[in-house]
Amino acid sequence: MRQENAALDVQEVPKVQKWIMLSLQHLFAMFGSTILVPFLTGLSPAVALVSSGLGTLAYLLITKGRIPAYLGSSFAFIAPIIGAMASAGPAGAMIGSFLAGIVYGLVAIFIRLLGLNWLMRILPPIVVGPVIIVIGLGLASTAIDMAMYAPGDEQIYSSTHFQVALITLLVTIIASIFFKGFFGLIPILIGIVVGYIVALFRGIVDTSGIREEWTAITSADSITEFFIAIFQKPDFIMPFVHYSPLDIISLEIVALMAPVALVTIAEHIGDQMVLSKVVGRNFVKKPGLHRSIMGDGVATVIASLIGGPPNTTYGENIGVLSITRVFSVFVIGGAAVLAVMFGFIGIITATISSIPSAVMGGVSILLFGIIASNGLRMLIDNEVDLSNKRNLIISSVILVIGIGGAYIQLTDNLQIAGMALSALIGVLLNLVLPGKESGYGNGSMFNSNEVTEHDNAA
Q: What is the pLDDT of residues 73-95, one digit of tens each?
A: 998 899 889 888 988 889 999 99
Whole-number Å distance between alpha carbons of 168 and 321:
27
Give mean pLDDT, residues 306-313. Answer: 94
Predicted structure pTM score: 0.83
Give mean pLDDT, residues 195-201. Answer: 95
Of 81-85, 265-269, 351-355, the range with the lowest mean pLDDT is 265-269
pLDDT grade for 38, boundaries at 50, 70 and 90: very high
Nearest 10 degrees: Cα torsion 131, 135, 136, 138: 110
359 pLDDT higher than 60: yes
Do 386 and 422 contact (CB within 8 A), yes or no?
no
Give mean pLDDT, residues 109-127. Answer: 87
Q: 3-class SS at 150? A: strand
Do 10 and 66 contact (CB within 8 A), yes or no?
yes
Give which of 238, 256, 326, 336 is closest to 295, Cα–Cα: 336
Whole-number Å distance between alpha carbons of 209 and 192:
18
Give which of 116, 124, 115 is closest to 443, Cα–Cα: 124
- Predicted pLDDT at 55: 97
Whole-number Å distance between alpha carbons of 381 and 396:
19
Whole-number Å distance between alpha carbons of 267 and 177:
24
Distances (CA, A) of 368 to 132, 135, 317, 365: 10, 8, 18, 6
Whole-number Å distance between alpha carbons of 268 and 15:
31
pLDDT grade for 1, boundaries at 50, 70 and 90: very low
Q: What is the pLDDT of residues 371-410, one digit of tens each?
A: 888 889 889 988 999 999 999 999 999 999 999 988 888 7
Give which of 418, 439, 417 is closest to 427, Cα–Cα: 439
- Predicted pLDDT at 316: 77
Whole-number Å distance between alpha carbons of 353 and 232:
14
- Predicted pLDDT at 318: 84
- Predicted pLDDT at 430: 94
Do 100 and 77 contact (CB within 8 A), yes or no?
yes
